Structure formats: structure tokens, C-alpha cells
């Protein structure tokens, strides 16, 4: 990245830089992959580019459907220009099926279709290992008002309706995903972060049997191999459809 921009923040999968316009930032998507709170780490050449391109398309789709997002435009294949927001330290996970940590922590059977989407909210805090929160704990920590929390939950449910139907059209099952929101300078709640196979579980519906074929970061989490091939396939299907 051009050194005329200052690094504001470096996360596990992205770097955020200043922009000439103080209301904007430049986000660079890295090739690094982590899992289990960075206990497991690897680099996949081309992942940053694929996640940036996929996220851009998904953000454009959501903006068309009146969801406020931080995305402004692509700068190049692995960087985007976004609105500067102050990230709310919550990870909002929506689940359509029981999988992953939900199956490790409950008696629900893997893959079970949930009668209604389940929203699990985690504290975005690596030192504490992103613990699962309750509404009361969120209130106690004064992270966000209950009105804003309701707004975020409502936006997450709306985003699920849009994304579920979009992914179904390209023969992918949206199992679950994680969102992060922030406040812009006017205190509006805006969707931030990324929407990519790093933070969505996407199963291939082009399978003749009931076998689960993950086209997302579970390929790395569960040592399945073929991560770049899976992300490339997601990007290909999105571009063929839009
Ligand atoms: P989980 O089943 O491990 O709780 O994950 C639920 C969803 O959230 C899944 O799509 C992966 C995503 N996720 C992240 O994006 N970041 C994280 O740190 C975790 C734990 C999950």
C-alpha cells in the first residue's frame, strides 16, 4: 500500500488506512487467514483480493436494498474505499442452521434447520476470546443502547432475508454469518467489516446427495483444503449472476 496513507488499524484479515478525505478510510484485504482466535494461522495467496471483490458485490447489493453500509467503491482488487465508522465492539452472528459453535455448545444436531433465525451476539475482544453475551450483559457494559441494539438486530434480520435469497439463486445455502456495525460521524448505524466466505458459512447446493460441501473458511478451519478454489467459485457464481 502507498506510504502516503497512514495505517490506522491492523486486524487479522484487514488493514485500515487514512484517506485524503477524513470521513473515509482505505481498507486493504490481507491474504492471512486465522481460526480459533488466531490459534491457527496461514496465508492463502489471492484470498485478500477474492474477499474484497466478493464483499464489494455484496455491499452493492445491500445498498440497492437500502441497507446502510460503509462501502463506497473499490480502489483496486484488494482495497476498497469506505466511510469511516467507529466500530461497535460486538460480533453479530445470525444462524439459519445449527452448525459450528452452536453444535458444540448445545444438543442441536449439526445442520438442523432453525425454525427462525437465531441471533448470537459476541463481545469483540480477542483477549477474552470473544465471549457470547446476553442483552443484560450488553446493557451492563453500556456498549450500546437497547434501542440501537434493536436496530442492529432488525438490520441483521433484513440482511439475512436479502442474502439468503441471493445466495440461493447462485446455488449456495447461507448457513450462518457474522456482521459488525459501527457509527458514522452523524451517529447513524452502518454495516461495516466485510461479507465474504471468511465470515459466512456457504454450502454448495449443487450436490446430488445430502453431503455438506463447504465453500467458505471452514475449508481452513477443518483442514479440508481447496480454500482458494472455493472462494474463486463463489466469486465466479456472483459475477455470473450480477
Ligand atoms: P461459529 O459457529 O464458530 O460461532 O461461527 C458462526 C459464524 O460466524 C460463521 O459464519 C463464522 C463466523 N465467525 C466469524 O466471522 N468470526 C469469528 O471470529 C467467529 C468465531 C465466527
Nearest C-alpha neighbor of 68 from the set 163, 192, 185: 192
For ligand 1, whether the C-beta of 201 sits within 6 Å is: yes
Question: Which residue among 176, 193, 200, 219 is best mutated to probe the pocket of ligand 1, counting the most ligand atoms within 8 A of its Cβ?
Answer: 176
Per CATH, which fold does 86-226 belong to?
Answer: D-amino Acid Aminotransferase; Chain A, domain 1 (3.30.470)
- Side-chain-side CA neighbours of 58 within 13 Å: the count stands at 29
Strand, coil or helix: 43: strand
pTM, rounded to two decimals: 0.97
Q: Quick check: 146 and 134 in contact, CB under 8 A? A: no
Architecture of the domain spanning 7-83: 2-Layer Sandwich (3.30)
Nearest CA to ligand 1 atom 2: 100
- Percent of the chain at pLDDT exceeding 90: 96
* pLDDT tens digits, one per residue of 181-192: 999 999 999 999
* pLDDT tens digits, one per residue of 56-104: 999 999 999 999 999 999 999 999 999 999 999 999 999 999 999 999 9
Q: What is the mean pLDDT of the segment spanning 141-166? A: 98
121 CA distance to ligand 1 middle (Å): 11
Nearest CA to ligand 1 atom 14: 199
For ligand 1, whether the C-beta of 180 sits within 6 Å is: no
Beta bridge partners of 95: 118, 176
How far apart CA 34 and CA 221 sit, in angstroms, is: 8
Domain ranges within the chain, ordered by starting residue: 7-83, 86-226
Q: What is the pLDDT of residue 209?
A: 86
How high is the mean pLDDT of the chain?
97
Amino acid at each position: 500500500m502507498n506510504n502516503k496513507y497512514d495505517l490506522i488499524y491492523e486486524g487479522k484479515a484487514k488493514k485500515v488506512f487514512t484517506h485524503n478525505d477524513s470521513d473515509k478510510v482505505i481498507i486493504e484485504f490481507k491474504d492471512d487467514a486465522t481460526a480459533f482466535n488466531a490459534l491457527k494461522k496461514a496465508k492463502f495467496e489471492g484470498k485478500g483480493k477474492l474477499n474484497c471483490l466478493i464483499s464489494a458485490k455484496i455491499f452493492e447489493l445491500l445498498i440497492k436494498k437500502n441497507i446502510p453500509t460503509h462501502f463506497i467503491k473499490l480502489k483496486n482488487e484488494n482495497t476498497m474505499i469506505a466511510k469511516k465508522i467507529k466500530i461497535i465492539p460486538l460480533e453479530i452472528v445470525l444462524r439459519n442452521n445449527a452448525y459450528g459453535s452452536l453444535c458444540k455448545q448445545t444438543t442441536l444436531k449439526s445442520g438442523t434447520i432453525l425454525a427462525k433465525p437465531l441471533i448470537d451476539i459476541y463481545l469483540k475482544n480477542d483477549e477474552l476470546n470473544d465471549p457470547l453475551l446476553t442483552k443484560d450483559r450488553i446493557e451492563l457494559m453500556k456498549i450500546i443502547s437497547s434501542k440501537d441494539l434493536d436496530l442492529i438486530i432488525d438490520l441483521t434480520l433484513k440482511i439475512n432475508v436479502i442474502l439468503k435469497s441471493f445466495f440461493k439463486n447462485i446455488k449456495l445455502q447461507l448457513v450462518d454469518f457474522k456482521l459488525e456495525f459501527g457509527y458514522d460521524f452523524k451517529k447513524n448505524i452502518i454495516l461495516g467489516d466485510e461479507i465474504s466466505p471468511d465470515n459466512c458459512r456457504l454450502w454448495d447446493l449443487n450436490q446430488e446427495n445430502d453431503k455438506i460441501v463447504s465453500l467458505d473458511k471452514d475449508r481452513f478451519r477443518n483442514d479440508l483444503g481447496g480454500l482458494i478454489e472455493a472462494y474463486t467459485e463463489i466469486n465466479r457464481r456472483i459475477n455470473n449472476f450480477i
